[in-house]
Amino acid sequence: MSQDEVLQMTENGHIEPFPAILEKAREYRSGKLLEAKLDCVNQRYVYEIDMLDHDGQIRALRFDAVTGRHLDLEED
């Protein structure tokens, strides 16, 4: 998926903007953003975010891109 497609989906209101998702991610884990991507998983758009926490551990977080809801790693 290209950046232009993601921008268009955000502007059309089909998915939450990344800054809003990042703010939610920081409520779950503080630390430095390492990587973020938008994937389509089981016909659902999901933001996958990797954060480096203060203990030096990389933490993976997932959020439904449409609702902004935090997803468990096992949840599809």
pLDDT per position in the chain (76 positions), as tens? 788 888 899 999 999 999 999 999 999 888 999 999 999 988 899 999 999 988 899 999 999 999 999 998 654 4
pLDDT at 10: 93
Token readout for 38 is 């938008």
Rounded to two decimals, the pTM is 0.85
- Domains of the chain by range and CATH? 3-71 (3.10.450.40)
Separation between Cα atoms, residue 51 and residue 25, nearest integer Å: 9
